[in-house]
Copies of this chain bind each other. A is one copy, B any other.
Amino acid sequence: MSEIITSDPSPRRMADAIRFLALDAIARAGDGHPGAPLGCAEIATALFTRHLVCNPDDPEWPDRDRFVLSNGHGSMLLYAVLHLSGYAGIPIEAIRRFRELDSPCHGHPEFAPGHGIEATTGPLGQGIANAVGMAVAEAKLAAEFGPGLVDHRTYALVGDGCLMEGIAHEVISLAGHLRLGKLTFLWDDNLITDDGHTDLSISEDVRARFRAADWQVIDCDGHDVAAVSAALLLARADPRPSLIACRTTIGRGLPRLEGQRGAHGGRVFDSDCAEAREAAGWEAPAFAVPPDIAAAWRRGAAARNRAAYAAWQERRAALPEATRAEFDRRAQGRLPEGWRDALRTLRRRAAEAAPERPSIEVAADTLAALADTIPDLFSGAPDLEGPTRHKQALAAFTAENRAGRYLHYGVREHAMGAMMNGMAAHRGLVPVGATYLVFSDYLRPALRMAALMELPVVTVYSHDSIGIGRNGPTHQPVEFLASLRAMPNMLVLRPADAVETVEAWELALANRHGPTSLICSRQPLPPLRRGDSAENLSARGAYVLAEASDGPARATLIGTGSEVAVALAARARLQQEGIPTRVVSMPSWELFAAQPEAYRAEVIPADTVRVAVEAAVRLGWDRWIGEGGGFVGMAGFGASGPGEDLFRHFGITPDAVVREVKARL
């Protein structure tokens, strides 16, 4: 790109270029959120034209700084900045069509690293936590590959709302604890939220709150590009993470709404754009950027970083072949060659001589066995290291040891969920989080973002049913299989024994375009699959585990997880009574639904009596058992008592399955 060399336009005009792109786009769309793009224009100008290390011509450069717009409703800020910086994925036509179906400029930013969009943000608090996960990934990869290859910073622009959300406090605490010194939050401290002045709902000393968590806190005028820039230098010089509190005026430059509540998400009219132009002395027409300003943006956001980019490419090129290949693999998010081999061995071993074991133990051992083969694996279990066994030989990732591969998240499930998303979006790590299934609700908003962003994040859950026993209904999931199955793009796996657990791990890792929930038992499960099979049978979602004998099946029993054994026991009884009965193990609805209809009809024949057994609510099972099918499961919450007593108490027994079948024959 050839450049027109001119003297630098004033920082105010650089920022106004953001303002008018945002205003024009929001006015044309008919809705949007003008407050943040206008209020944060100087902050973004300071960051993007003077500090952020990136290359708009190579948006996915692995060693780029990461920028997350946590207050995602201000999406036009991001699109304007990316356009001005020269990201080809955000041309002016895309901005013109802000919030139309065919535009990459969606209502809220949607993960598209090729366009410079590092995370999907909108639900407040998620972006902040993503940024902390990215900073963890950076620190870990820097420890592995050295600062010549990995040495970048992570920035998040955050609003008042982000800082009120609980998840923010979880990650503020953790980021301070981990001393993530390359992490900087730029706080749009405008004293306004959607409801009005912040004093309606907060009187907390936010600065003191950050200091309590061992952050550096810097104050500055958020409308002074030089002041923000100086603050960013201070942030770089401190070993702690930094909060830069930028005092701003919401909707700055929009006379009718500036400084007011209505600026947050209020409608912008053409008359507003005209008034704003008048006030700013901005003469360029809608969607036009004056050439001197466009050139200065390119110089600041692109040309400034060229030397650094070239030097990095040289360092990469100079690496030994194997190191370079490994780095590239990690940066591209591919798994290493041969990653399935270790799993095959494990599966064979499980099939040969499996004792009764809790599937959470098998899952944990599988992770441990994969750790050498897949150095990308990065584990954590919010204060449930013991029950989930997901640390084992892994060293802890700490402020002192960045090479560690296990993060002690503390009792902060939501933080874990969103930080894993940040790690996966950053690339270089394959995050694995373990907790109890009931706590998946605590991280559910983050799971949804993983599903939306199509991130390969694996969550392993223990304590999957009333089988946990005496801890009682607060800790007994009954609705969670259904609620996870309801989420688009979420792969849910509930293995029935050790072999299926190893298979499930293989499927979880193979799932590169969405999150996986691997759901395990606390109580021991008997081995059901004997002898090795060449194929990963769980990959088809459901398969015939035990064929009917003495004739074609009259009944098909379908089970998942610990209830497959219940189905097998029921089958034995039915067979004894002369009723040929098939048992289908169904570790994954999503995978089964994706099979050809012929396979599905073959596995669960519609002309047999179909009875499902699962220690959970019925919701959704009618799809598989058909009208008039039987279901043995839970109708409400669990109770506190020994696990075996509970299965009897709630009637999840072979007897009950037998009754359901007979009633239908």
- Measured in the bound complex, the distance between the Cα atoms of B635 and A160 in whole Å is 35
Q: Which of B170, B176, B204, B452 contacts A164 (CB 8 A)?
A: B170
> Which partner residue on chain B sits nearest A207 by CB separation?
B212
| A607-633 contact mask (Cβ, 8 Å, vs B): 1 or 0 | 000000000011110110011000000
B residues less than 8 Å from A620 (CB atoms):
482, 619-620, 622
Q: Which of B201, B408, B415 contacts A174 (CB 8 A)?
A: B201
Is the pair B209, A641 in contact by a Cβ cutoff of 8 Å?
no
Per the 8 Å Cβ criterion, residues 220-275 of A in contact with B are none
Stoichiometry, as copies per complex, reads 2
B residues less than 8 Å from A213 (CB atoms):
204-205, 209
Residue A356 lies at the interface, judged by CB distance under 8 Å to chain B:
no
Is the pair B212, A160 in contact by a Cβ cutoff of 8 Å?
no
Interface residue stretch chosen among A140-148, A333-341, A361-369, A467-475 = A467-475
* 12 additional contacts (CB under 8 A) given A121-B474, A205-B214: A101-B646, A107-B474, A110-B473, A110-B640, A123-B442, A125-B411, A177-B202, A193-B410, A200-B408, A212-B212, A448-B479, A619-B619
B residues less than 8 Å from A487 (CB atoms):
479, 483
B residues less than 8 Å from A285 (CB atoms):
none
B residues less than 8 Å from A482 (CB atoms):
482-483, 486, 619-620
B residues less than 8 Å from A410 (CB atoms):
161, 164, 193, 195, 200-202
Residue A168 lies at the interface, judged by CB distance under 8 Å to chain B:
yes
B residues less than 8 Å from A165 (CB atoms):
166, 170, 411-413, 442
| A324-356 contact mask (Cβ, 8 Å, vs B): 1 or 0 | 000000000000000000000000000000000
Is the pair A488, B479 in contact by a Cβ cutoff of 8 Å?
yes
Per the 8 Å Cβ criterion, residues 180-231 of A in contact with B are 193-196, 200-206, 208-209, 211-214
Interface residue stretch chosen among A84-92, A378-386, A546-554 = A378-386
- Measured in the bound complex, the distance between the Cα atoms of B168 and A410 in whole Å is 14
Residue A57 lies at the interface, judged by CB distance under 8 Å to chain B:
no
Per the 8 Å Cβ criterion, residues 16-36 of A in contact with B are 29-32
Residue A444 lies at the interface, judged by CB distance under 8 Å to chain B:
yes
Is the pair A486, B483 in contact by a Cβ cutoff of 8 Å?
yes
Is the pair A478, B488 in contact by a Cβ cutoff of 8 Å?
yes
Residue A169 lies at the interface, judged by CB distance under 8 Å to chain B:
yes
Residue A155 lies at the interface, judged by CB distance under 8 Å to chain B:
no
Question: What are 6 pairs between A and B in contact, CB < 8 Å?
Answer: A122-B471, A176-B203, A204-B212, A205-B213, A441-B448, A606-B627
B residues less than 8 Å from A209 (CB atoms):
209, 212-213
Residue A409 lies at the interface, judged by CB distance under 8 Å to chain B:
yes
Is the pair B204, A176 in contact by a Cβ cutoff of 8 Å?
yes
> Which partner residue on chain B sits nearest A589 by CB separation?
B619
Q: Which of B108, B208, B212 contacts A472 (CB 8 A)?
A: B108
Number of A interface residues, CB 8 Å? 110
Residue A67 lies at the interface, judged by CB distance under 8 Å to chain B:
no
- Measured in the bound complex, the distance between the Cα atoms of B470 and A107 in whole Å is 5
Q: Which of A166, A413, A470, A489 has most B Cβ within 10 Å?
A: A166
| A96-109 contact mask (Cβ, 8 Å, vs B): 1 or 0 | 00011101001110
Residue A636 lies at the interface, judged by CB distance under 8 Å to chain B:
yes
Is the pair B194, A385 in contact by a Cβ cutoff of 8 Å?
yes
> Which partner residue on chain B sits nearest A105 by CB separation?
B640
Is the pair A167, B164 in contact by a Cβ cutoff of 8 Å?
no
Residue A139 lies at the interface, judged by CB distance under 8 Å to chain B:
no
Going nearest first, the 4 A-B pairs with the smallest beta carbon separation are A166-B166, A201-B410, A169-B169, A122-B474
- Measured in the bound complex, the distance between the Cα atoms of B202 and A482 in whole Å is 34
